[in-house]
Chains A and B, each alone.
Chain A
Amino acid sequence: MRAKDLYSFYGKSPVIQGVSFDLNSGEFLAILGRNGVGKTTLLKSIMGLTHRCDGGLVFGENDLLGLSTSQRAQLGIAYIPQGREIIPSFTVRENILMGTFARPDGRRDIPDYLFEMFPILDEFIGRKGGDLSGGQQQQLAIARALAMDPKILILDEPTEGIQPNIVKQIEEAIIRLNKDRGLGIILVEQNVPFARRASDRFLVLDKGRVVLSGHSTDLTDSVVEKHLTF
């Protein structure tokens, strides 16, 4: 996925201003920054959920800016939004099944490895999504995204507001998906140690612009001090 001088608008105000990045397949990019600098908006722009985008955004051979949100999903881009946004009145099974609607081959089977990764979902398969705890809902949201057999996974603060024992489980799952299954990942995260440990590269946003980017090994404490503390 490659973004070149990307602008993204809500109404007339440009929230993302000239962001560029380059992500090879199977790479892990962490997007960091303080609250309100446009991290979530950048992810939404990739999915086509903002009002308007200018500049360049390509995925493989495809120019994303000309495609609708659902067409982007069908290219294999799986988005796990902040706050998870599972469908509360759907059962766990229906929520996961919903992910398969983005499969271009039209298959509707749920891969078994999802339940090996998150056994709790198998146990609660018939429960309503809204009855799960926050951590379980996050696992469900990840399973839903994986059910579409994506090429790239976009996660917006997946460990925010989740009980610590499940945070560990989710972090491990994300790392394994990247390392073992070769899934490209774009992660927005406030938790810098996890981002440093998991990602190949990072970029720091401020006021809608990239102020710093590099390899995650360069994400030193002084960088964190300068750009990420309040």
Chain B
Amino acid sequence: MDVILNQMFAGLSMASILLMIALGLAIIYGAMGVINLAHGEFVMLGAYAAWALQTYAGFSIIVALPFVFVAVGAVGWIIERVIVQRLYHRPLDTILATWGIGIILQQVVRLSVGAESRFVKGPELLSGNIEIGGLVMSNYRIFVIVFSLAVLAASWALMTRTEFGMKLRAVIQNRQISECYGIEAKHIYSVTFAYGAGLAGIAGALITPLFSTIPTMGTGLVVDAFLVVIVGGLGSLLGAASAAVLIGEATALFSMLFNDTLGRIAVLAGIIVLIRFRPRGLFPSNTRR
């Protein structure tokens, strides 16, 4: 029984990280139809930014979060302005371009910081565990779960409760007429892309105590995040949240029943079956196509 509860908690912890990464992907895809293959590298940049802030400025991860968000957001903003913006009418090429950007970012970090794994300390404040019977929950992982829910709520509020969100929704539904009413779609896209990148950066910073910080760390994570977005329904926030929990828990469950490798295969097989019956995901958004 305890084993099951502990695995469920591990699954939830994984889900919270996937959710933060997938949210950025889902927002960027939902807004401009760009499949951002450099997203994993935004996660990696966030992790290295957290490492740099801790090593050179002595910031704990939590203090570093706003700086990481702004820094990785700025990188995203520049990439959107310089490259992605020129390719909106060629959606397939954005996949190739963002993949290339990802490789460049990886190599830049490998050449400048080094290929070896970097270590980032978790915050002292959140060290230790909460134990309920046989269930052991690390305080830090609980914090990450709560934080990811806060990020979800903030993203939802940004989309539905702010003027920026209203402009974004207008542009998604009818770009030409939005521009006829004073909305500069290019600016909206740039800011949205930067926001998605910033979220990935935050996720990267938060996982530094849990994962090893290496230049290729984003690649594996972004695959799982893509699975979350596809299962959830492209462009849907609610879908991303439920799919993150589903995939996190399924991975934990199958890993316990079989082993990590077979568990992984079982999850992928499960997703293929699901997509067979719900090709547009759990909560398809009806705004696009």
Residues of A near any B CB (own CB < 8 A): 47, 49, 68-70, 73-74, 78-79, 81, 85, 87-90, 94, 97-99, 101-103, 108, 144, 148
Which residues of chain A have C-beta atoms less than 8 A from B180's C-beta? 47, 49, 69-70, 73, 78-79, 81, 102
B177/A81 in contact, CB under 8 A: yes
CA distance A74 to B178 in the complex (A): 12
> Considering the complex of A and B, which 5 residue pairs feature the smallest CB-CB distances, nearest first?
A102-B182, A69-B179, A101-B182, A73-B182, A85-B177
B173 interfacial contact with A, CB 8 Å: yes
B170 interfacial contact with A, CB 8 Å: yes
Known: A89-B287, A94-B166. A102 touches B174 (CB 8 A): no
Which residues of chain A have C-beta atoms less than 8 A from B185's C-beta? 70
Known: A89-B287, A98-B166. A73 touches B179 (CB 8 A): yes
Residues of B near any A CB (own CB < 8 A): 163, 166-167, 169-170, 173-174, 176-185, 287
B181/A89 in contact, CB under 8 A: no
Which residues of chain A have C-beta atoms less than 8 A from B170's C-beta? 87, 90, 98
Can you report 7 A-B residue pairs in the complex whose CB atoms are below 8 A from each other? A70-B181, A87-B170, A88-B173, A97-B166, A102-B180, A103-B182, A148-B181
Which residues of chain B have C-beta atoms less than 8 A from A97's C-beta? 166
Known: A98-B166, A101-B167. A68 touches B184 (CB 8 A): yes
A70/B183 in contact, CB under 8 A: yes
A85/B174 in contact, CB under 8 A: yes
Indicate which residue in A49, A74, A81 contacts B182 across the interface (CB closer than 8 Å).
A74
Which residues of chain A have C-beta atoms less than 8 A from B179's C-beta? 68-70, 73
CA distance A103 to B185 in the complex (A): 16
CA distance A97 to B170 in the complex (A): 11
Main secondary structure of the interface of B (DSSP, over half): helix
Indicate which residue in B173, B182, B287 contacts A70 across the interface (CB closer than 8 Å).
B182
Which residues of chain B have C-beta atoms less than 8 A from A144's C-beta? 181
Which residues of chain B have C-beta atoms less than 8 A from A108's C-beta? 163
Q: How far is the CB of B236 from chain A (nearest CB, A)?
A: 14
CA distance A90 to B167 in the complex (A): 11
Which residues of chain A have C-beta atoms less than 8 A from B169's C-beta? 87, 89-90
Which residues of chain B have C-beta atoms less than 8 A from A90's C-beta? 166, 169-170
Q: Which residue of B lies closest to A79 (CB)?
A: B180
Inter-chain pairs besides A101-B167, A103-B182, 12 sampled, C-beta below 8 Å: A49-B176, A49-B180, A68-B184, A70-B183, A70-B184, A70-B185, A85-B174, A85-B176, A87-B169, A89-B287, A98-B170, A101-B163
Which residues of chain A have C-beta atoms less than 8 A from B173's C-beta? 87-89
CA distance A144 to B163 in the complex (A): 16
A102/B176 in contact, CB under 8 A: no
Q: How far is the CB of A202 from chain B (nearest CB, A)?
A: 24
B181/A98 in contact, CB under 8 A: yes
CA distance A73 to B182 in the complex (A): 5
Q: How far is the CB of B289 from chain A (nearest CB, A)?
A: 15
Which residues of chain A have C-beta atoms less than 8 A from B287's C-beta? 89
Which residues of chain B have C-beta atoms less than 8 A from A49's C-beta? 176, 180
Q: Which residue of A lies closest to B187 (CB)?
A: A70
Q: Which residue of B lies closest to A99 (CB)?
A: B181
Which residues of chain B have C-beta atoms less than 8 A from A79's C-beta? 180
Indicate which residue in B177, B178, B182 contacts A148 across the interface (CB closer than 8 Å).
B182
